[in-house]
């Protein structure tokens, strides 16, 4: 392990020209994300052109576009080969995002996972992401991703790495989420992203521009330790997750609760909650990083429907890789000893519900002992114990569904014993008949 020196500073001081390939993602039949009139291949190109134009104002940098026609369907290998043919130092692939349920928002960058590729990719991406968040976009982080074969998951990063070129993928924002879509309303929006990319790159390389009257030669990049083996993605949900209801006022329709959550590998990025036992969740809300591990939530104006049906609180927290942990359900009415007039049958009719209520009750009584105990608990117990405890909590849902499977097994055993009993009765009858037959003879 060695700490990287800022080679780029040295490079620009020696007046060595750095070669950049800007790669507008997708093209031709491969359109990329396509949402409500926004087609990724064409807005990637607009952003790439703006980045190209802006970067061309700096000295000591030679800039190329991998292609300029959005109808040109260029393979990832061809893009990397093109970068090699112009002796590129860096390839920056520009993209916009979309998610299946349109829930995600924010920018993110994917970088190589090993060696100096990782170090340079991290520093470059960190500078670009900083400029994009400056526009008002939330950061989902600078990340690596390894495929099942143990190599880089993203083709462009893999193909470039194979040719000795550091490349990164910049996902500027989500086209299909209202938190981000206001930034991609028109060409000016796409160009702002391109300018942000250029500025991030200029800072990373320590470039100067006479035209712009700027000099980033003393800019310091974040210091990154060079990894000798691949840095893997975080595929585990947040390790710590607990919920405590702190206040409930049925008449005022107000609920207050606190969430304690931590991810050992990345950060908590979003949270959401449900008041109806997990049927409906809020949109993804940003975890305030300044809040640290504990977030206090106040919910007002709870709908009459939910107040009438009773409040069943379920919380989800998401890490930077969008992997989530879900809390146990807390029956708030039960916790506050409130009779739920509208559904008196509920507890009596279903034994399954009864056992769920029991488990959430356990959690509530743990939590009601207070935050102090939770804190002591973390200090006293070893990490593995805490992890196991938390893991148990996170998996309650799964074990609840296992219980159902167990129930099915019970019914199989029950059916089996009925068949055996019928068999025995038949055997006895046959034996009696047989005996009778014998005696009559």
Shortest separation between residue 105's beta carbon and Zn ion, angstroms = 16
Residue nearest to Zn ion (CB): 95
Nearer to Zn ion (CB atom), residue 25 or residue 237:
25
Nearer to Zn ion (CB atom), residue 95 or residue 143:
95
Shortest separation between residue 25's beta carbon and Zn ion, angstroms = 4
Angle between helices 351-367 and 396-440 (to 10 degrees): 140
Residue 172 binds Zn ion, judged by CB under 5 A = no
Shortest separation between residue 96's beta carbon and Zn ion, angstroms = 6
Nearer to Zn ion (CB atom), residue 27 or residue 206:
27
Q: Interface residues for Zn ion in 85-114 (CB under 5 A)? A: 95
Shortest separation between residue 23's beta carbon and Zn ion, angstroms = 11
Nearer to Zn ion (CB atom), residue 34 or residue 371:
34
Nearer to Zn ion (CB atom), residue 12 or residue 181:
181
Residues sharing a CB contact under 8 Å with residue 122, sequence separation 6 or more, in sequence order: 111, 142, 222, 224
HSE, CB side, 13 Å, CA atoms: give it for residue 131. 22
Angle between helices 76-85 and 155-162 (to 10 degrees): 30
For CA atoms 339, 344, 348, 352, give the dihedral sign: negative
Q: Which long-range contacts (CB under 8 A, 24 or more apart) does 284-289 make?
A: 284/103, 284/104, 284/105, 284/318, 286/138, 287/261, 287/317
Nearer to Zn ion (CB atom), residue 36 or residue 372:
36
Helix residue spans in 63-102 (DSSP H):
76-85
Shortest separation between residue 70's beta carbon and Zn ion, angstroms = 13
Which H or E run includes 201? helix 187-205
CA 28 to chain centre: 30
Size of the site for Zn ion (CB under 5 A): 3
Shortest separation between residue 416's beta carbon and Zn ion, angstroms = 56
Shortest separation between residue 40's beta carbon and Zn ion, angstroms = 5
Nearer to Zn ion (CB atom), residue 95 or residue 140:
95
Looking up tokens 């703006």 gives 50
The backbone torsions φ and ψ at residue 205, rounded to the nearest 5 degrees and listed phi first, read -85, -10
Q: Interface residues for Zn ion in 14-53 (CB under 5 A)? A: 25, 32
Contacting positions for Zn ion (CB under 5 A): 25, 32, 95
């Amino acid at each position: 392990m060695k700490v990287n020196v800022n080679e780029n500073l040295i490079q620009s001081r020696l007046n060595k020209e750095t070669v950049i390939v800007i790669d507008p993602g997708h093209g031709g039949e491969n359109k990329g994300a396509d949402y409500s009139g926004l087609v990724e291949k064409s807005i990637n190109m607009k952003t790439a052109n703006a980045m190209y134009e802006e970067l061309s104002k700096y000295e000591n940098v030679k800039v190329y576009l991998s292609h300029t026609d959005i109808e040109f369907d260029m393979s990832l290998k061809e893009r990397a080969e093109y970068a090699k043919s112009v002796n590129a130092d860096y390839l920056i692939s520009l993209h916009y995002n979309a998610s299946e349920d349109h829930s995600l928002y924010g920018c993110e960058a994917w970088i190589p996972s090993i060696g100096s590729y990782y170090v340079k990719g991290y520093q470059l991406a960190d500078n670009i992401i900083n400029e994009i968040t400056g526009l008002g976009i939330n950061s989902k982080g600078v990340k690596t991703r390894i495929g099942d074969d143990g190599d880089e998951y993203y083709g462009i990063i893999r193909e470039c790495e194979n040719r000795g070129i550091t490349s990164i993928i910049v996902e500027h924002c989500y086209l299909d989420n209202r938190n981000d879509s206001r930034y991609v309303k028109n060409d000016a929006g796409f160009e702002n992203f391109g300018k942000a990319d250029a500025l991030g790159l200029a800072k990373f390389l320590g470039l100067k521009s006479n035209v712009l009257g700027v000099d980033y030669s003393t800019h310091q990049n974040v210091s990154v330790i060079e990894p000798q083996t691949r840095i893997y993605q975080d595929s585990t949900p947040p390790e710590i997750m607990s919920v405590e209801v702190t206040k409930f006022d049925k008449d005022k329709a107000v609920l207050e609760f606190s969430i304690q959550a931590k991810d050992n590998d990345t950060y908590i990025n979003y949270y959401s909650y449900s008041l109806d036992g997990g049927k409906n969740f809020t949109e993804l809300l940003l975890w305030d990083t300044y809040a640290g591990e504990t977030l206090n939530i106040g919910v007002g104006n709870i709908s009459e429907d939910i107040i009438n049906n009773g409040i069943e609180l379920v919380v989800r927290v998401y890490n930077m890789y969008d992997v989530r942990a879900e809390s146990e359900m807390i029956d708030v009415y039960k916790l506050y000893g409130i009779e739920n007039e509208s559904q008196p049958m509920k507890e009596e009719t279903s034994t399954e519900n009864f056992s769920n209520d029991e488990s959430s009750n356990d959690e509530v009584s743990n939590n009601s002992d207070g935050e102090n105990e939770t804190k002591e608990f973390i200090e006293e117990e070893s990490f593995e114990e805490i992890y196991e405890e938390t893991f148990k909590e996170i998996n309650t849902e799964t074990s609840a569904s296992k219980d159902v499977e167990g129930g099915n097994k019970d019914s199989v055993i029950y059916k089996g014993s009925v068949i055996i009993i019928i068999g025995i009765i038949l055997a006895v009858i046959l034996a009696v008949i047989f005996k009778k037959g014998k005696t009559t003879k």
